[in-house]
Structure 1
Amino acid sequence: MSNKQTKFIWVPAILVVILLGMIFYSAWQRQETKVSTSKNKITVVASLDSYGEMAEAVLGKQGTVTSIINKQNMDPHEYEPTANVAKQYQKADVIVSNGGGFDNWSLNFAKQNKAAKTINLAHLYNYKDGTSGGNEHFWYKTDLTTRLTNQLAVKYSQLMPAKKTYFEKNAKNYQKKAEKLVDLQNQVKTRLDGKKLLATEPVFDNTLLALGADMQDQQFARAVEEGDDPTPSDVREWQELIKQGQIAAVIDNPQATGKLAKQGVDYAKAHDVPIVQARETKPAQTSYIAWQLKQLNALNEALQE
């Protein structure tokens, strides 16, 4: 057989191979499109509803968000997850945990889901568990709305690169909504200058200390947070500071149940010291920004009395 004849035989064969390749590639593309379309939604689980709100704002219409601690009367310290919660974490594409010893159950579930993108607020704030004077209430960090929404945009974009601009825009929109909160923080910072405060628990301290508050008798607050009774010395210091007129306001966590904490608040009221409430969990039917604004406005007004 001549070389010319061989070429004529191979040409149709090559064309057939190319044609089949094109057919298979087209079918593969259709299948990939089908798969990506069916999976083109991001599933997010957040341990706290404050974080869940931000996760939803950045995610927009590109998926769903489930918040585990989502009722104002749920005690995060006493919470025990159910089997259904474990399943939700296993199916999640993105997991947001507080960390810092606050929600170890969330961190443990996140570790079991190797495929999920995770955000640990303790890591974002370089917090070390057990640090002396550390405070794991990261939802009270004054830059949370910026730091967390930017990180969410990064994680979502890793899963949906084509939507990166969309996620970044959503993050900026939420940050814009939070500008009024930043403005109020600056007002309170000015009023806090030279003022001393007491707190029944250090729940609000991440905000207060960032704004320059001079927190007194912190051993009292830490004891209440740990479920212990403040020492007689701490109680005396609390009362003496109030009696001498040195305290501008008392920050009270209404979810605290300690007897001595209640007595401390009553003592402050009896001496006409303003009481400002700062909760550990977000109130029902209230956005995170509205919640923070309400508490800061209450403090702002108290500092003017």
Structure 2
Amino acid sequence: MNPTRRLAPLSLIPAAALLLSGCSPAADGAAAEAGGIQVVASTNVYGSIAEAIGGDNIDLTNIIDSAAQDPHSYEASAQDQLAISKADVIVENGGGYDPFIDTLISAAGSDDVTVLTAVDLSGLLPEDEHAEDEHAEDEHAEDEHAHDHEAEGDDHGHVEGFNEHVWYDLATVDALAEELAHHFAELDPDNAATYDENYTAFADEIGTLTDTASAIKTDADGTGVAVTEPVPVYLLEASGLVNLTPDAFSEAIEEGTDVSPASLSELLDLIGSGDVSLLAYNEQTSSPETERVREAAEQESVPVVSFAETLPDGEDYVSWMTDNITAISDALDS
């Protein structure tokens, strides 16, 4: 699956069946002449990564830039639509996390924009899901109107059981940064060397984060942890930690459905068993059930480490992930 796509005019292709393709050389240099590459990111996490590569040469719009906004249920505004219509590059998570982006793209109907999808770049989507996506694209090639009203099988739809929070996977972030450098250079050849240098520096920082997580893994490999939601699981796994949370509990919290008494009881028993060395808590999706789990962890002296889905004020991606990894290490040492 090509993680970069060009958009055909809206009249030719529905949002649920957008095909991926390469970049059009005709667009090279156009963004620079217009006074900067117009970049739209679904969240400020991806905006920070784009800014690390593009610097002052991009004009960045983050649609989600507050902890009070939930990408899963965000309702786009006319201002968001205007930003998308002017974009040269759009960065989204995909995997059903930020579906409002595809809605905005479809409405814009632009044929001159590059869309980078982190889930596609991650390589983490199960192979059978990729196979289904490719089959859907083949079917579309035979009859472009066959799937006008079908969202299932689209590579940006939610995949049950898949953890779409791929910005917590450092390899994915590195791959996205490299793609950004490549596309920025195509759009603005005069500053290609700058984008390459920025990517090299950013990749070095991601390498340092990866090494730090690996150092934790050396001592903590196999250590059990619990989560209220799977948001930070990729980073926890990179640190050698094993998520023991009942799937039914974390899935219910993530999807906003009722938590069954059985799954809550199972997690509370796990917290009290001594098999959990920390609780990863998503502050942005708290509920009576997650608060109860947090209270149980505190009563059992299990360290609680808070994670988020958007950047804290004053942080960039690297400083934020540095703080997250430090918090994991400190919790395990406590």
Task: Check whether the contact 1:95–1:110 (CA below 8 A) recurs between aligned residues.
Answer: no
Q: Is the 8 A contact 2:214 2:240 kept in 1?
A: no
Q: From 217, 227, 248, give the equivalent of 2:256.
A: 227
Post-superposition CA distance 1:155-207 (Å, at most 9, x none): 11222234332211111122223343223211222233131111111111122
Counterparts of 1:238 and 1:139, CA distance in 2: 26
Distance across 1 between alignment mates of 2:186 and 2:58: 14
Q: With the length of structure 2 as denominator, give the TM-score of the two structures.
A: 0.76
How big is each residue's C-alpha offset from its partner over 1:101-138, in whole Å with a ceiling of 9 and x where there is no partner?
A: 11112123334222011101122124354434201112
CA shift in 2, pair 1:49/1:178, >3 Å: same
Q: TM-score, normalised by structure 1?
A: 0.82
**Which structure would you say has the larger RCO, counting Cα contacts within 8 Å and 6 or more residues apart?**
2
Q: Which amino acid aligns with 1:117?
A: T
Q: Aligned AA for 1:50?
A: V
Distance 1:84 1:40 in 2: 20
Give the Cα separation in 1 of the matches to 2:286 and 2:207. 34
State the alpha-carbon separation in 2 of the partners of residues 45 and 239 from structure 1: 41
Cα deviation for residue 36 of structure 1 reads 8.4
- The count of residues paired between Structure 1 and Structure 2 equals 272
The equivalent residue for 1:55 is 50
CA contact (8 A) 1:45 1:88 kept: yes
Aligned equivalents of 2:224, 2:58: Cα separation in 1: 46
Q: 2:38 aligned with 1:68, yes or no?
A: no
Q: Which has the larger radius of gyration?
A: 1
Residue equivalent to 2:232? 204
1:135 aligns with 2:144: no
Match of 2:181 in 1: 153
What residue is the counterpart of 1:9 in the other structure? Answer: none
CA contact (8 A) 1:227 1:258 kept: no
- Please state whether the residue corresponding to 2:226 is helix, strand or coil: strand
The aligned residue for residue 20 of structure 1 is: none
Structure 1 or 2: larger helix share?
1
> In 2 relative to 1, CA 289–240 (structure 1 residues): closer, same or farther, beyond 3 Å?
same
- Provide the aligned C-alpha RMSD in A: 2.1
Q: Which whole-Å CA distance do the structure 2 matches of 1:245 and 1:38 have between them?
A: 61
The 1:230–1:47 alpha-carbon spacing in structure 2 relative to 1, beyond 3 Å, is: same
Output the CA distance in 1 between the equivalents of 2:110 and 2:239: 38
* Residue 266 of structure 2 is aligned to residue 237 of structure 1: yes
For residues 66-88 of structure 1, what are the alpha-carbon distances to aligned partners after superposition, in whole Å with 9 as ceiling and x for unaligned? 11111232222232111111011
Structure 2 residues not aligned, in runs of 5+:
1-29, 130-156
Deviations 1:280-305 (A, max 9, x none): 22111111111111122111111123
Conserved 8 A contact 2:67-2:284: no
- 2:142 aligns with none
1:176 is aligned to 204
Counterpart in the other structure of 1:13: none
1:119 paired with 2:147, answer: no
Q: Distance in 2 between matches of 1:155 and 1:107?
A: 20
Which of the numbers 288, 306, 313 marks the counterpart of 1:259? 288
Q: Does 1:43 align with 2:38?
A: yes
CA distance in 2, matches of 1:161, 1:37: 8
Q: Which residue of 1 aligns with 2:311?
A: 282
**CA distance in structure 2 between the partners assigned to 1:176 and 1:42 by the alignment:** 24
Matched residues in 1 for 2:81 and 2:190: separation? 30
Picking from 188, 199, 206, the partner of 2:216 is 188
Tell whether the 8 Å contact from 1:229 to 1:258 is kept in structure 2 after alignment. Answer: no
Query: Which amino acid is the alignment partner of residue 186 of structure 2?
Result: Q
